[in-house]
Amino acid sequence: MTVAIASDHGGFALKQEIIAYLEKKGIAFKDFGCYEEKSCDYPEYGRAVAEAVVKGEYDKGILLCGTGIGISIAANKVKGARAALCTDCFMAEATRLHNDANILAMGGRVVGPGLAVKITDTFLHTEFSGEERHARRIRAIEE
Ligand code: RB5
């Protein structure tokens, strides 16, 4: 499994926690920035990860900003991106099972590092259910 990850300054500290988890688990990843906590604009990072995932360069994306909201809105402007803002493991599991979400978004000012790692682990290790009703709804979104 390969992961594209990015954040703005509001998600920067949480991104370091997620990167530590990826490294510990031996999951290959690329950090698309930002690379310091200086104020920056989340849309470019959301777009970069979404494009990399949609092109098939990475299996999944992870995006962090202060709330997770702005960066997920930006990512979802890229056709084929299904970025899901998750604040707990139930959401992370459900969005993989039902929405086949390809990008996880979280807020560095919302969830603590312990929960964020559990959410990430759940997201990365839950497969899409493949059930017809869910596949149909995803097709409708794409169309
Ligand atoms: C930055 O202050 C903040 O607006 C951003 O990280 C994010 O929360 C936007 O949705």
Residues of the chain with pLDDT > 70, as a percent, come to: 100
Is the minimum distance from the CB of 10 to ligand 1 under 6 angstroms? yes
pLDDT of residue 140: 98
pLDDT (tens digit, 9 = 90+) per residue, 34-51?
A: 999 999 999 999 999 999
Q: At 76, is the secondary structure helix, strand, or coil?
A: coil
Is the minimum distance from the CB of 68 to ligand 1 under 6 angstroms? no
pLDDT of residue 10: 98
Atom number, ligand 1, closest to the C-alpha of residue 67:
8
Is the minimum distance from the CB of 40 to ligand 1 under 6 angstroms? no
Atom number, ligand 1, closest to the C-alpha of residue 107:
8
CA of 66 to the centre of ligand 1 (A): 4
Among 94, 93, 42, smallest CA distance to 67 is for 42
Nearest Cα residue to atom 6 of ligand 1: 66
**What span, in angstroms and rounded, lies between the C-alpha atoms of 18 and 83?**
17
pLDDT of residue 3: 99
Atom number, ligand 1, closest to the C-alpha of residue 9:
6
Read off the amino acid at residue 37.
E
Question: How many domains, in total, are found in the chain?
Answer: 1
Q: Answer positive or negative: Cα dihedral of 84, 86, 33, 121.
A: negative
**Long-range contacts of the stretch 88-94 (C-beta < 8 A, 24+):** 88/115, 88/119, 89/115, 89/118, 89/119, 89/122, 91/119, 92/119, 92/120, 92/122, 92/123, 92/126, 93/122, 93/123, 93/126
pLDDT of residue 65: 98
Edge-to-edge strand order for the sheet containing 2-7?
28-31, 2-7, 60-65, 103-107, 83-85
Nearest Cα residue to atom 10 of ligand 1: 70
Q: What is the mean pLDDT of the chain?
A: 98
- The label of the residue with tokens 């000012």 reads 109
The whole model's pTM is what?
0.98
Domain containing residue 75: CATH number: 3.40.1400.10
pLDDT-derived band at 139, boundaries 50, 70, 90: very high
Domain ranges, residue 116: 2-142
**What span, in angstroms and rounded, lies between the C-alpha atoms of 127 and 101?**
10
Mean pLDDT for 96-104 is 99
Active site residues: 65, 98
pLDDT of residue 120: 99
Is the minimum distance from the CB of 66 to ligand 1 under 6 angstroms? yes
Give 3-state DSSP helix, strand, coil % of the chain, rounded to 5.
Answer: 50, 15, 35
pLDDT (tens digit, 9 = 90+) per residue, 74-93?
A: 999 999 999 999 999 999 99
Residues of the chain with pLDDT > 90, as a percent, come to: 100
